[in-house]
Structure 1
Amino acid sequence: MVQLAIVSAVAGGLFGFFLTGKPFMQANLKPEETDFFNDNAIDGGQFLQLNRPVNILVMGMSVLPPDTQNAPEESKDLGYLPQINSFDGLSDVMLLIRFDPKTNQLNMLSIPRDTRTEIEGYGLRKINSANRLGGAYLSAKSVQNLLGNIDIHGYVRINVLGVGKLVDALGGVTVNVPKDLKYQDDSQHLYINLKAGEQHLDGDKALQLLRFRNDGRGDIGRIERQQLLMQALIQQALNPATLARSPIILGTIKENIDTNLTLDSLLTLVNFGVRTNRSDIKMLTLPGRVSNDREFDASYWLPDEEEIDEIITRYFN
């Protein structure tokens, strides 16, 4: 009852902030793309109560000026490539989240950005290219095909600039950084310098943790750090004090989010998350292996179809 009261209060605040049905939607989906997602499956039943399992695709977008034809003028001729607030380009993070009221579990499957899979209409490519080629719909369609025709009911895309603002709005997050992380890329003004150990990260340092991948482990090392940050964000975001401030927090990152979910749907999923025990949150990584130098011209994550079938059957069926 306490959790429901909290979420009901949040709902009132959010309705005051956002009066449209899909307040965070930045992209215009075609009718057939809207039908593919069928986000109406989330609504229904008692107030804010999820009455069937739902799969949501979450993507983190790291976009540079060459990735889009609509780069702002102020991002050009700087002598380096800055991050811009856009949803074009490659998806740096891909995460399929299952909210399952039948088991009271929340399962998250990280999909490496270099996963080699069929992109409808374009052949075998890295899965992160699907967003650049066809937006959120083609990304979701590619994930569906990769995972054995699984239903995907909605998507959320968040630009990396919004992640930094979100962490700052939450007051930072406490993370145990697994090792010293140091990297420099002058072409993007990307400077990473984190020491190992438990520490409270602000938005800039959280982005350093997310973007580091120069440890010889490629996508898999990066996914492990993404999952560390995700756990910290969940812990911070779903506590009652933070939820009470959520209308203000979401207002600060509204322009950095694109989703086809309605406000009712978002609140229903938040309510489910609030009620979920942390021990019932499972984080998984798409099974596979890194390709070797003799197999392809580029490096890929090669999915293991048999192990994928086992994970989907156990956690997403």
Structure 2
Amino acid sequence: MRRVALFLLALALLFGVWAFPLLGPLLRQGAFPNPFGLKEPLTLLVYGSSPEYSGYHKRAPERFRGLADAILLVRLDPKANRAVVLSIPRDTWVALPGYGWHKVNAYSPLGGPELMKQAVEQLVGVRPERYVVVSTEALRKAVDALGGVRVCVEKPMRYQDRAAGLAIDLKPGCQVLNGEEAEGYLRFRKDALGDIGRIQRQQAFFHALREQVLSPAGIWRLPRAVAAVEPYVRTDLTREERGAVLGFAMKRPGLVSLLLPGRFGGGGWAVDREALGRLLALYFQGEALGEEATLEGRLVALVYGPGQEALVEGAKERLRALGLRVLLHPVDLVPERTEVLENGPGALAEALGEALGVPYRVSGEAVLGADLTLRLGREGLPR
């Protein structure tokens, strides 16, 4: 009996050490995780607020009114136990009455989160119910508190902005990034795809961050991460809603990450309304697909790295045998794993994944202009 009491005491002390960093945020926010609080889907507008400056090299006090960055429309669906993240390119043009035409990221300094909600509704056709705005400091603090996040950097990334205090110098390869390095990885856009390439890296980072948070080490560090981020977040979620969102996150929901369908044009990102309608119907309105996934005649981008030429030939043959057209897409770094990607409803990715015997994901990381993307990892395709 004494041993049981000592064990329970040790367990209580361990829990106290683990949860202690949450004490301050809980007292300020008044929100305890409620796993049963979210009963209906909740749509959030989540975006980063770029730093503001009162002079050269002089950071202004945080008002959460800088240009919007990493603009996300998030749908938390408790019935499907799924979080859907739709990334909206910052260079997408949208007009609001009384404001005229602006890129969507400019509505944050013009009118803050409420005006951003209106701009996103006008652009996408879905009204965000609540907003969450984070400053750039939040990312650094969260990643450092989690002990870093493992990311595969696909190419050398070098850029310096002295006025903004941003210095990026990342070498290619799979590595654990600290907070400063993660910020550089997520903000880098000095390549051919510009902001779209950055969004795709952000989506890869979301998946890596999710894996880190759900790991044993990540769960142990999670209270510290929450406490570190809390001062750099502004939201209109009520106390009950905050507890419900935290409780929903504890259920380890599935993650679907999407890029707003479109193409480069008109000095920004031109939205593909038909493709967007399909995604909204499935992931935001709960409608069934209602169409059969046919691979015949579809275009698949075959992504591979240096030294994989022999594997590529075998993959091409198998893809063409399925009736697919193949677009070779060489990259500087061999993909970490073999997988199928689709920035769409997901039925095509599922069909190809099952045909090849490889995993599939719905993700905006898919190659632009192709119906499907097949990343060829070191192991190639299973026989």
Which band: TM-score by shorter chain?
A: 0.7 to 0.9
Q: Does 1:316 align with 2:284?
A: yes
Question: 2:293 aligns to what?
Answer: none
Report the AA paired with residue 94 of structure 1: I
Which of 170, 182, 202 is residue 178 of structure 2 equivalent to? 202
**3-state DSSP class of the match of 2:224?**
helix
Report the AA paired with residue 195 of structure 1: K
Return the alpha-carbon distance in structure 1 between the equivalents of residues 109 and 25 of structure 2. Answer: 31
Q: How many residues align?
A: 269
Q: Is the 8 A contact 2:21 2:227 kept in 1?
A: no
Q: Does 1:48 align with 2:25?
A: no
Q: Does 1:127 align with 2:104?
A: yes
What is the deviation of 1:266? 2.5
Which of 246, 251, 255 is residue 227 of structure 2 equivalent to? 251
**3-state DSSP class of the match of 2:108?**
helix
Question: 1:282 aligns to what?
Answer: 256
Please list every run of 5 or more consecutive structure 2 residues that lacks an aligned counterpart in the other structure: 1-14, 286-383
CA 18–105 in structure 1, closer or farther in 2 if over 3 Å, else same: closer
Return the alpha-carbon distance in structure 2 between the equivalents of residues 194 and 11 of structure 1. Answer: 34
Return the alpha-carbon distance in structure 2 between the equivalents of residues 163 and 283 of structure 1. Answer: 19
Report the AA paired with residue 27 of structure 2: L
Report the AA paired with residue 112 of structure 2: G
Q: Does 1:18 align with 2:26?
A: yes
Question: 2:89 aligns to what?
Answer: 112
CA 222–17 in structure 1, closer or farther in 2 if over 3 Å, else same: closer
Question: 1:38 aligns to what?
Answer: none
Q: Is the 8 A contact 1:94 1:111 kept in 2?
A: yes
Question: 1:87 aligns to what?
Answer: 64
Question: Which protein has the larger Cα radius of gyration, Structure 1 or Structure 2?
Answer: 2
Deviations 1:17-68 (A, max 9, x none): 4334578xxxxxxxxxxxxxxxxxxx9xx85342111111110111130xxx
Determine which structure has greater relative contact order: mean sequence separation of CA pairs < 8 Å that are 6+ residues apart, divided by chain length: 1
Report the AA paired with residue 224 of structure 2: I
What is the deviation of 1:229? 1.6
Q: Does 1:301 align with 2:269?
A: yes
Deviations 1:173-221 (A, max 9, x none): 0011121111223333322111111100000100110111001211110
Deviations 1:85-135 (A, max 9, x none): 441121011011111122222111000001111234212210001111110
Please list every run of 5 or more consecutive structure 1 residues that lacks an aligned counterpart in the other structure: 1-7, 24-42, 66-70
Q: Does 1:189 align with 2:165?
A: yes
Deviations 1:229-250 (A, max 9, x none): 2222222224455445444332
Question: 2:115 aligns to what?
Answer: 138
- Which has more strand, going by share of residues? 2
Return the alpha-carbon distance in structure 2 between the equivalents of residues 88 and 305 of structure 1. Answer: 29
Return the alpha-carbon distance in structure 2 between the equivalents of residues 238 and 160 of structure 1. Answer: 23
% identical equivalent positions = 38
**3-state DSSP class of the match of 2:270?**
strand
Which of 34, 38, 49 is residue 61 of structure 1 equivalent to? 49
Return the alpha-carbon distance in structure 1 between the equivalents of residues 87 and 146 of structure 2. Answer: 23
Return the alpha-carbon distance in structure 2 between the equivalents of residues 255 and 228 of structure 1. Answer: 26
